[in-house]
Amino acid sequence: MPQTPATSLTLQQQAFCLSWLSNAASDKVDTLSNLEDHVRQSVQAFLTGNAGRIADWSIAWGPVASSHEGSDPTALYYADNMLYAASASVDGAPCLVVAMAGTNEDDAYDWLAEDFSIVRQIDWPYGNGGFDGAPAAKISHATATGVAALLALADPEAGGIQAFVAGWTKANPGGTVIFTGPSLGGALSPSLAMATVGQNGGPFADTTLLTLPSAGPTPGDPDFAALYAHFFPAPAPGSAQAGPVPFNTDLVNVHDVVPTAWNDVKLTGFFTNTGDIAFKLSMDALLASLDGLADGLLAFKTYTPIAHQTFAADPPDVDYDSLQGYFGLIVANHLAAYPTYVGVDDALTDTTAAMTRATLRQVQTHAKRLTAAARSQGAPPAA
């Protein structure tokens, strides 16, 4: 996607940037207060550095971080979740962006509890907003864990995000609220948006509710996808909400493993192995075994993605000749490819770099566990 002229970024591009910046502390261990301050400072630096290209955004809620390990104000933590909201006047109308971080790439709890806890599905617990066409909606235990954590966060002055959004919509009639997040946030943002509608008993009066998820794995089953689509329909082609980065639609790089991780898509089909014959055979066997593990985990569960808009990373970086190269392709296609496609990579360099460093470390760590499991099924070791 070409860069937007320096005079303005589209609303979609601005919301994407605010979304991405929620990950600014993803590679850091610090007090929760300092982690929140780091995100706040990163957002402010973005606003200052892009004055003239963006609306007059200011932080209206948060940032608020949480850790499953506790909330001791002097203890050092990784942030399991990070959430904030920013408001601005866009084209003369009030707008609120609720931005949530993706997986904390250095936090094993995020990977295991909020990303990969998908064998168990639970009933959607936040109400149907008055829509009876999806009577048995279910979401993954991972999604449920993340949404519950976000709803439990509280700004010391403004309270929880549900009450804050409700109050904001009443104070700003005719406004727009956008829920957005990448990666894990790409599953949590549509789910949190739907939870907000459900807990409100339906849509907020005189308010446009939108989502802008990216690189998000599938949150739930067919009924949940139908429930979400009722309140957050894909925009009509040619409308202001459509385009290369449409609202209410998961933005997906076709070479990204994560958005398809909970569906019947094979790892063996993503990238091209250009190594020698021994390495080819070894990797083919390993990936086939990992696919078998995934098939076994998901055999009794059904996941249906929400509406998605696909793109192919340009250039499509899909060739590898080593295990390290394979890891690098997974990370590059899951992270850097997105701001590049959206046309805002120049504004997000530091955050993307932090996310990439942390993710490479964790991909390698968890790949060792998966490799051990696959080898126990009889796969030969990878070179």
Residue 104: predicted pLDDT: 45
**Per the domain annotation, does 277 fall within a domain?**
yes
Cβ neighbours around 65 below 10 Å, total: 28
Report CA-CA distances (Å) from 62 to 152, 157, 164, 214: 13, 9, 11, 22
Confidence label for 366 from pLDDT (cuts 50, 70 and 90): low
Q: Which distant-in-sequence residues (6+ apart) come within 8 Å of 157 by Cβ? A: none
Domain count, the chain: 1
* Number of alpha carbons in the 13 Å side-chain half-sphere of residue 242: 7
- Per-residue model confidence as pLDDT tens digits over 203-228: 999 999 999 999 998 899 999 999 99
| Parent domain of 189 | 11-375
**Per the domain annotation, does 380 fall within a domain?**
no
Query: Residue 112 pLDDT more than 70?
Result: no
**Per the domain annotation, does 101 fall within a domain?**
yes
**Per the domain annotation, does 383 fall within a domain?**
no
CB 216 within 8 A of CB 183: yes
Kindly report the average pLDDT of the chain as a whole number. Answer: 85
Rounded mean pLDDT of 322-333? 83
- DSSP one-letter string for 238-279: TSTT-SSS-TTSEEEETT-SGGGTTSS--GGGTSEE-S-HHH
Q: Mind spelling out the 3-state secondary structure of 283-302? A: HHHHHHHHHHHHHHHHCCCC
Least confident window among 127-131, 199-203, 228-232, 332-336: 332-336
Please give the Cα distance from 55 to 57 (Å, whole number). Answer: 6
**Per the domain annotation, does 5 fall within a domain?**
no
Residue 145 gets which letter from DSSP?
H
**Per the domain annotation, does 85 fall within a domain?**
yes
Please give the Cα distance from 116 to 35 (Å, whole number). Answer: 24
- Per-residue model confidence as pLDDT tens digits over 19-48: 999 999 888 889 999 999 999 999 999 999
Q: Which residues of 252-285 are buried (b: 16+ CB within 10 A; e: fewer)?
A: bbebbbbbbbbeeeebeebbebebeeebeebbeb
**Per the domain annotation, does 223 fall within a domain?**
yes
329 vs 194: which has the higher pLDDT:
194
Q: Note the residue count of the chain.
A: 383
DSSP-based three-state secondary structure for 128: coil
**CATH number of the structural domain spanning residue 57:** 3.40.50.1820
**Per the domain annotation, does 253 fall within a domain?**
yes
